[in-house]
Amino acid sequence: MTALVFTTTNPAELLSGMRHARMAIGKGEVVCVPTDTSYALVADAFNPVALDKLRAARRMQDRAPLSVFLPGIPTLNALAESVPEEVEALATEFWPGALTVIVRAGETLAWDLGDTAGTVALRMPANRIALELLSETGPLAQSGAFALGQSPLVSPTALAKRFEDSVSVIAAAGDEKTGKSLSTVIDATSLDSPQGKLRIVREGAISSLEIFRVVEADQFV
């Protein structure tokens, strides 16, 4: 399998690229899309075979947890068991953007994202190409477009070479350049406990100081 690369700067090629990406997702294949941080690999979150392909592309272990891209804040309420006011405030401020929040997953969700212990990591990326695809497919499982131990790439040609046997479609960033940064990750799963607090798991593109302007620092461990 050779990855199809679409530049997406031309409207006709963008339309064709989105069509091929939708078809690939529907067939349980892996697609590479740009985000406001780095490129990401995405696949149908409700298709176990597709999730295995995504993990294989990144050389992850079989049950390694996967996070999820979603198309908008309303989807947060559909996927989370509950949305604490702190999480809602952070999502309102930083989505779309480089913020990932870990919450308790809704009990009725028919998916298996790996060894997540009943949680799900959610993010709404700030990139029109990624968001356009998400608006048509719904939530997608995702992970960074680099194998473990490798650095992120910003060139579609280099991505095609790296993932030529495991990715079907690569949508190039076009005018919205990606970088090599990572999202900031906040764990909110303890908020359902008395005196529970938030925890910054990883400080990435959004600094802790920016986070504390929205939710006070004493709400974090």
Q: Which domains does the chain have, with CATH numbers?
A: 4-219 (3.90.870.10)
| Residue type, position 109, single letter | L
Residue 87 has pLDDT above 90, yes or no: yes
How many C-beta neighbours within 10 Å does residue 203 have?
15
Q: What is the pLDDT of residues 114-140, one digit of tens each?
A: 999 999 999 999 999 999 999 999 999
DSSP bridge partners of 120 = 103
State the pTM of this model: 0.94
pLDDT of residue 1: 64
CB 171 within 8 A of CB 31: yes
- Confidence band for 65, pLDDT divided at 50, 70 and 90: very high
| Average pLDDT over every residue of 212-221 | 97
pLDDT of residue 67: 97
Residue 50 has pLDDT above 80, yes or no: yes
Name the CA dihedral angle for 202, 207, 211, 216, rounded to a multiple of 10 degrees.
100
CB 69 within 8 A of CB 130: yes
